[in-house]
Chain A
Amino acid sequence: MTDLTSLTLAEARKGLADKTFTSLELTDAHLSAIEAARVLNAFVMETPDRARDMAKAVDEKIAKGDAGPLAGIPLGIKDLFATKGVRTTACSKILGNFVPTYESTITSQLWRDGAVMLGKLNNDEFAMGSANETSCFGPVGNPWRRDGSNTMLVPGGSSGGSASAVAALLCMGATATDTGGSIRQPAAFTATVGIKPTYGRCSRWGIVAFASSLDQAGPIARTTRDAAMLLRSMAGHDPKDTTSVDVAVPDYEAAIGRSVKGLRIGIPKEYRLDGMPAEIEKLWSEGAAWLKAAGAELVEVSLPHTKYALPAYYIVAPAEASSNLARYDGVRYGLREQGKNIIEQYENTRARGFGAEVRRRVMIGTYVLSAGYYDAYYLRAQKVRTLIKKDFEDCFAKGVNAILTPATPSAAFGIGEKGGADPVEMYLNDIFTVTVNMAGLPGIAVPAGKDAQGLPLGLQLIGRPFDEETLFSLGEVIEQAAGRFTPARWW
C-alpha cells in the first residue's frame, strides 16, 4: 500500500470504486507523506484528525453506493480559502489566528462531492508574489532540484504550497488562486497542471480578496484529466458572488481525449522575447508541432498590446489590493497593535501585520488612486486593459480557438535569488500569464519538457471565454506527447 500517493486522482477514484482500498487508507498514506516532507514547508496547517473523520464518513457513503464525483479523494487547500473552524491566514501575520465561522463556496462544493481535506497550504502573503517567498510562514521548497545540486529552489507563487504538495505526492490535487499567474507559473515550475478558468467561472466567495477584478480560483493537479475532474466540482454559479456567471458547468473530463483536429491555434509573435532562453523557444516549437501532428492548424497571430499588460497590471492589482486590504484594521479580526488613538492603532497594526511586499503594493495602490494621480495612472491602465482584451477578441474573431505560449520565461530559480534589489525583476515572471487575467480569459499550464539542468518547463494555452473544454483537450495532447514528469524523492 506504499504506492497509494503516486496514483493519479482518476486512478484513485477507480481504486476506491472497486474497493481496492478505502479513503481512510488513501488519506493515511498522504498524511504520512506530508509528515515526511515537512522540509518543503508546503503545509502551514495539517488537519489529520479532520481528514480521517472526513475519510471515514466518505467510506461509509461509498459502501452505501452514495458517493460523489470526488468521493474519498484527499486534497490540500490553499490558505486563502476560508475553512470553517480551521485557521485561515492568507499566510499573513495580520490575520493572526483567524478561524472562519463559514466555509468558502469552492471548498464547500469539494466537500459536497466527497473530497477530504488534508490541511492548509502555504502561499505568498495575500497571494502577492511569484516565488512563495513572502509568506509569513517562510518560503516553500520545490521538490525539483537542478541535476547534481542540493540548492533548494522556489516552487513559484503565489500558489507555491499547492504546486509543491501536488508535485511531491502529498495530496492528489489542490485548490489555488490566480491573479496574475499564481496557478500557472507554479504549475510550470513543478511539472504540474494548473488551470485558471474564465473570470466568473468559480465563485470568489470566502476566498481572501487580493484584486477582485483579476482573482480567480482553479485547481492544480498532476494530469489534465485530474484538473478537469477538480474544476467540475469547483466551478458553478454562486448567488453570493455577483461576478459569478450563471452558465452551466460542462463535464470537463469528457473533453479529455476529444479530437483537436481542425482547431486553429494562434502563435503570438509578441511572446517571442529578446533574450528568451533557447530551450523555452525550442519547447514552444515542440508544443506547436505536437498540436499540429494531432490535426490542429497553426496560425501566427498578433497581440500588439502584450508588453503593456504587466505594467498595467502593476497599477490595477495594487489599486484593488489597497482597497481590499483596507479591512485589516485591527478592530474586527486578526492582529491588533496598540496606539495612542485609533489612527495610530491602525497604522501600527498594519505596519506590523503586513510584510514588506504587501506594504509596498498597498502603498503604490494608494498612490495611483490618490487625488491628482488617478487619471494618469489608474484610468489610463483601465483603458490599456480594454485594449489588451480587444487584442484577444480580434484574434478569436478571426477563428482562432486557442493560443499557445510558453508559461514562464525561465525554469524555477533558487530561494532568495530574485527581486532582492528591484521588485520588478520578480514581477517579470508573470509576463506570459498576466495578459490572461487582464482579459478575464481561461488559461492552462501543462508540463512539456525539461531544461538543460533537468528542471521542468511548461506551456500555456489561452482559450476563449468559458471554453475551458478546448484547453483540456489541447492540454491532454501535450501531456500525451511530452509524457509526465515526477521529481526524484530526496526529502
Chain B
Amino acid sequence: MSVDAATVRRIAHLARIAVSEDEVPHLQGELNAMLAFVEQLSEVNVEGVEPMTSVTPMRMKKRQDLVNDGEIADDIVANAPATEGHFFLVPKVVE
C-alpha cells in the first residue's frame, strides 16, 4: 500500500499538523518508504493469533475509589501559555 498526495494532506489534518503544499511530496516519499518497509509483515501467517494487548500477563490494577489528590489548580495552570484565573484561554470555539 502507498499513500498519494491527497492522503498525506488528510493524515496531516487528522494529526493536526499544518503541512504546506511544498512539503507534501517529500512527506509522501518518507511515509511510503516506511510503508514499504512494514509491508513484509503481510508474509506472516497470523491466522488464529491473538493480538497483544498487554506485554506482561497481569490484570489491570484498580485504584481505591477515594480522593487522594487535587486542590492544585495553581500547579495545573502554571505552564499554560494563556490563562485567566484558573482557566485556560483558547480562541472562541462556540459562536
Residues of A within 8 A of B (CB): 98-99, 101-102, 198-200, 213, 239, 242-243, 245, 305, 307-308, 310-312, 314-315, 322, 326, 329-336, 339-348, 350-351, 354, 359-360, 362-367, 370, 373, 376-377, 379-387, 389, 422-424, 427, 438-440, 465
Contact = CB atoms under 8 A, between A and B. Distances in A.
A351 B51 contact: no
A379 B49 CA distance: 10
Task: Name, among A310, A354, A366, the residue most crowded by chain B CB atoms within 10 Å (CB to CB).
Answer: A366
B78 interface: yes
Contacts of B39: 311
B63 A239 contact: yes
Interface residues of B, number: 52
A331 B90 contact: yes
A370 B10 CA distance: 10
B58 A389 contact: no
10 contacts: A101-B79, A213-B54, A315-B38, A339-B91, A360-B31, A362-B15, A382-B52, A383-B44, A384-B49, A386-B49
Given A380-B46, A386-B51, A370 B14 contact: yes
B5 interface: no
B56 A199 contact: yes
Given A386-B49, A389-B52, A423-B33, A362 B17 contact: yes
Chain A at the B interface: mostly helix, strand, loop or mixed?
A: helix
Interface string B8-22: 100111111111000
Interface of B: 1, 3, 7-8, 11-19, 27, 30-31, 33-35, 37-42, 44, 46, 49-56, 58, 60-61, 63, 72, 75-76, 78-82, 88, 90-93
Nearest to B53: A382
B18 A332 contact: no
Nearest to B1: A376
A331 B16 CA distance: 14
Given A382-B53, A383-B50, A332 B80 contact: yes
Contacts of A386: 49-52
Given A347-B18, A363-B31, A376-B1, A200 B40 contact: no
A335 B80 CA distance: 9
Contact of B34 (A343, A348, A423): A423
A332 B55 contact: no
Nearest to B72: A101
A243 B44 contact: no
Contact of A245 (B8, B51, B56): B56
Contact of A101 (B33, B44, B50, B78): B78
A367 B11 contact: yes
B78 A354 contact: no
B93 to A, nearest CB: 5
B88 A331 contact: yes
A347 B18 CA distance: 5
A71 B30 CA distance: 48
B56 A363 contact: no
Nearest to B63: A239
B40 A311 contact: yes
A307 B40 contact: yes
B47 to A, nearest CB: 9
A333 B83 CA distance: 10
A336 B16 contact: no
A395 B87 CA distance: 55
A334 B3 CA distance: 32
Task: Name, among B3, B17, B35, B75, the residue most crowded by chain A CB atoms within 10 Å (CB to CB).
Answer: B17
B18 A348 contact: yes
A424 B11 contact: no
A99 B78 CA distance: 8
Contact of A99 (B18, B19, B79, B88): B79
Given A101-B78, A329-B16, A360-B31, 12 more contacts: A308-B44, A315-B38, A333-B79, A342-B93, A347-B16, A354-B17, A362-B17, A367-B7, A367-B31, A384-B41, A386-B51, A427-B37
Contacts of B79: 98-99, 101, 332-334
A383 B27 CA distance: 28
A389 B50 CA distance: 12
B44 A363 contact: no
Contact of B16 (A199, A346, A439): A346
A333 B38 CA distance: 34
Given A362-B15, A383-B51, A386-B50, A330 B78 contact: no
A383 B38 contact: no
Contact of B15 (A335, A350, A373, A379): A350
